[in-house]
Chains A and B, each alone.
Chain A
Amino acid sequence: MAQKKIGKQTFQFSSVPVVTSWASVVGPKEGQGPLGDKYDLVLTDSLAGEKTWEKAEQKMMQYSMELALEKQELLPKDLDLYLAGDLLNQIISANFTARFLNTPFLGLYGACSTLAQGLCVAGILLEGGFAEKIGVSASSHHDTAERQFRTPTELGDQRPMTAQWTVTGSASFLVERIGTGIMLTHATIGKINDLGVSNTQDLGSAMAPAALDTIKTHLEDLGRSEDDYDLIVTGDLGFLGSNILKELLQQNDISPKKINDCGIMVYSPSQDTHAGGSGCGCSAVVLAAHLIERLRKGLDQRILFVGTGALLSQISAFQGESIPCIAHAVVLEARGEVK
């Protein structure tokens, strides 16, 4: 029997790793959103002074890690490990950021669940005593994602109402074995859920069952109920996926009143994104700019952060495959004192 595993899929971090620092960098559209003034850096254009969108995305990821380190007066060389991922083929944003940081690096791919995945892995490694300080980043960029997954950005096509808008943004987190900050107490590693949704313009419907599975398993594993959390927040289900999740939770006798979604929080309805935000950056920047700040200020005591990822590629989609989806959850707790 694994000592630190509870129930089917949940890990307990008894040594309680701490998220000590965080920073977010976003594009102009996100800057105009409801959380606009909470981001550390809002870019004036989506190229960030670079020649290509890919370079801009990489810079956002790098900037967010640098800012998070600077807040703790640390340097990249102080990191024992860097964990990062993004949506692009071969996770190039993460690779080039790791090239800049010049620290031991493990690349992650969990599509939009990448940040939650990174926090899970960081927690495991810190609990295991393999590191003192770990950097975790995730990024996405609307234009690089459109290029890779959909159509040229200047193409005059219409997006369906179920489509979500990929967030241009990146956030980084510094997780330490000892320190002051937000406590990382549990992680629930998700399983792939695929209920046959194959519409790549409707990822909310595809991902909702994965979120349900992970939330339900998490609560069962720990013997907790939704009332033990101030907030259960999913990564990027959007309006549609979140509504479906609420219905599914009710069918499973779990009250949906604590549920919210980063894809809903990141844009205002007037920004015309259709079903809300998505992308690795979506949950990352909302967590860094808003949710974790609420924990720090003591407005929330304990939240369940559930990163949701649609693990498709254009090739699998064109070949008619349905969309395999995953959700990973981490429990974040405030220490109790108000700073």
Chain B
Amino acid sequence: MIKLQEEEIRQKIREREGLISRNVLLKEQEMTRQQEELQKEHQKVLYWEAQALGEERKKLADLRQEIERQQQRLTKPQQIAYQSIALKFVPPQTVVKNTIMAFLVGGLICLSGQIIKNLFSQGGLADKEASAATSALLIFLGAFFTGIGYYDKLGKVAGAGSIVPITGFANSIVSSGLESKKEGYIYGVGAHLFTIAGPVLAYGTMISILVGLIYYFAK
């Protein structure tokens, strides 16, 4: 008895496969009918699967997954059709303006970094020390302006221009820390300090090790 119905379901799946692989947009009624058929088949097969043992169970699980895949693929043309309508209404991103602002602000931050470094050098620091001191000062400034609530306003206008420099890195850490302060220093600040910067640190470190290894062997 069960066998017969299973064969029926397999037959229906094969027929539907033809329909799905044609990738056509189904009429609403037809879509509903197919979806309800799939639900019915899925429920049936799952019920058999729950009762079956060993090889039989595995076979039915495969069949169930086949139905699940069809459930997903069935609505694809509808999704594509809708998303192409929706896309027509999406307001354009202000790419040109963003790029120019990123260039200007990013450039200004780097320029101020250079000026600070020159001043440190004039003040008598060696080149390496002047670089480190400059980084420290820029990080402090990034953190400071985040703390008093200005860096996010700069970021809104400048985008990558204020994210990419070291001040942006400071912003990502301080903003995460600030926000989590109310959950305490362990579960709040400590746990969330690197939620934004974490991936940069993890993959930055990994890549630098890789590059170091390549350099070591290629030299």
Contacts and interface: CB of A to CB of B under 8 A. Distances in A.
Interface of A: 51-52, 147, 151-162, 195-197, 202, 205, 208-209, 239-240, 243-244, 247-248, 275
B160 to A, nearest CB: 8
B59 to A, nearest CB: 29
B134 to A, nearest CB: 20
Contacts of B211: none
Contact of B93 (A151, A152, A160): A160
B29 interface: no
Given A154-B151, A247-B85, A161 B91 contact: yes
Contact of B89 (A154, A158, A243): A243
8 contacts: A152-B175, A152-B179, A154-B146, A156-B162, A158-B155, A158-B156, A161-B92, A161-B94
A157 B155 contact: yes
Contacts of B218: none
Contacts of B155: 155-158
B86 A197 contact: yes
Contact of B196 (A155, A195, A202, A275): A155
A88 to B, nearest CB: 14
Contact of A155 (B78, B89, B171): B171
A240 B91 contact: yes
Contacts of A152: 175-176, 178-179, 195-196
B75 A154 contact: no
B90 A240 contact: yes
B98 interface: yes
Given A158-B98, A161-B94, A196-B75, A153 B152 contact: yes
A156 B156 contact: yes
Nearest to B86: A205
A154 B175 CA distance: 5
A208 B78 CA distance: 14
Contact of B151 (A52, A156, A196): A156
Contacts of A244: 85-86, 89
B171 A208 contact: no
SS class of chain A's interface: helix, strand, loop or mixed? loop
Nearest to A248: B85
B207 to A, nearest CB: 22
Contacts of B39: none
B145 to A, nearest CB: 9
B106 to A, nearest CB: 12
Contacts of B159: 157-158
Contacts of B149: 154
Contacts of A155: 152, 155, 171-172, 175-176, 196
A275 B93 CA distance: 12
Contacts of A208: 86
Given A151-B196, A154-B171, A156-B155, A195 B90 contact: no
Given A240-B90, A244-B89, A154 B179 contact: yes
A157 B158 CA distance: 9
A152 B194 CA distance: 11
Interface in B141-164: 146, 149, 151-156, 158-159, 162-163
B151 to A, nearest CB: 5
A161 B162 CA distance: 19
Nearest to B179: A152
Interface string B67-100: 0000000011011101101101111111000100
A158 B85 CA distance: 25
Given A155-B155, A155-B196, A195 B82 contact: yes
A130 to B, nearest CB: 32
A59 to B, nearest CB: 15
Given A157-B163, A196-B75, A52 B92 contact: no
